[in-house]
Amino acid sequence: MEFDAVRQVWIVEDEPDAAALAAELCRGSGVEPTVFRAPLPFLAALRSDDPPAAVVLDWRLEHELSAALFLATRHRFPAMRVVYWTGIPADLLPGMIRADASTRIVDKAAGALAFEAAVRWAVGGAMPAG
């Protein structure tokens, strides 16, 4: 299955201000965001035949469901790029996320430029290593 050539990114973020900021930064980078404020609508959309180019997940989702969303994404689309945009230090995230070659972790405190670079990488552009 091909990923969306329109450079669409799905964002799963339960904090309204963070979700709005992530969507705004995506649009500013020429990427069309779809925001999911809860896990179930995201999982339902993930089963569709029209996947995005990438997903943005937050580690601190309500009910600690972020790992389940990551695993569901990997199960359905093993090569889909994932950006973890989180306030948790990268070394505290599970090894399956840190070691995943199709995943980048971005600290929310790193600012807009770091997030935008990760989104560009996720939709097929370059991102510096690190």
91 occurs within a structural domain: yes
Using only C-alpha atoms, the chain has a radius of gyration, in whole angstroms, of 13
The whole-number average pLDDT for the span 20-45 is: 93
122 occurs within a structural domain: no
1 occurs within a structural domain: no
* CB-CB neighbours of 45 under 10 Å: 15
Number of domains in the chain: 1
Q: How far apart are CA 69 and CA 67, in angstroms?
A: 5
* CB-CB neighbours of 8 under 10 Å: 18
84 occurs within a structural domain: yes
Q: What is the largest CA-CA distance in the chain?
A: 35
CATH of the domain at 48: 3.40.50.2300
67 occurs within a structural domain: yes
126 occurs within a structural domain: no
What's the domain range around 98? 8-112
Query: CB neighbours of 111 closer than 8 A, spacing ≥ 6?
Result: none
Per residue in 58-109, pLDDT (tens digit) is 988 776 788 999 999 999 999 999 999 998 899 999 999 999 999 999 999 9
Question: The pTM is what?
Answer: 0.88
43 occurs within a structural domain: yes
68 occurs within a structural domain: yes
